[in-house]
Amino acid sequence: MLHPSENDYAPYYSVYIKNVTGDVLVQLENQLNETNKLLNSISEEKALYAYAEGKWSIKEVAGHLIDAERIFSYRALAISRGEKQSLPGWDEKIYTGKGDFNKRKLSDITEELRLLREANLLQFINFSEEMLKQRGVANNSEVTVFALLFIIAGHEAHHLKILRERYLKVQVQE
């Protein structure tokens, strides 16, 4: 499967899109198991760990993944349906701070993320070619539905890498 072209998304999303290799739907499905397994391996005590002052805890990173996936998948839905209004941006720091993720059980956060991805996969696999090509505006930048799928997968890959390298120091076997 091809990657979206550079005019399908704002330049700042390239950091995420480059994290997608192969078929984006396969990567999204593989992440479902990978992320679930990783988060389920972390104790409640460890889940409150932040690797530096001012950084999110593991629970907050997982909560951020939920917020981001909800927002990006809503954008994909709205644009696939022909929405012409500009969709709002969001401040991930404010959203995560107001999410109270550290007060929740990691297992509940993990389950919410899993269910969200399962629901989104059902939606995404049923997007037609025409829907994937739809172009809209989100956060004052043009984006296609196809690019949004890559942003979702690449964003999660980005944060999984950070979790492994900075929080858990787990090396990924290639």
Give the pLDDT score at 174: 43
Give the CATH number of domain 9-168: 1.20.120.450
Strands 135-138, 141-144: pairing kind: antiparallel
- 127: its two tokens: 């997007």
- % of the chain beyond a pLDDT of 90: 95
CA-based nearest residue to 22, from 170, 149, 166 = 149
Give the pLDDT score at 169: 84
Give the pLDDT score at 170: 54
- Interatomic CA distance for residues 155 and 17, integer angstroms: 8
Across the chain, mean pLDDT equals: 95
Burial class (CB in 10 A: 0-12, 13-18, 19+), 93: exposed
How many alpha carbons lie under 13 Å from residue 22 in its C-beta half-sphere? 6
Give the pLDDT score at 98: 98
100-112 pLDDT, tens digit each: 999 999 999 999 9
Residues in the chain, overall count: 174
**Would you say the C-alpha torsion 124, 30, 88, 2 has a positive or negative sign?**
negative
Give the pLDDT score at 1: 57
Is the pLDDT assigned to residue 142 strictly greater than 50? yes
Give the pLDDT score at 2: 86
Domain ranges of the chain: 9-168
Give the pLDDT score at 135: 98
33-91 pLDDT, tens digit each: 999 999 999 999 999 999 999 999 999 999 999 999 999 999 999 999 999 999 999 99
Q: For residue 171, what pLDDT band results from cuts at 50, 70 and 90?
A: very low
Name 19's Cβ contacts closer than 8 Å, sequence gap at least 6: 153, 154, 157, 158, 161
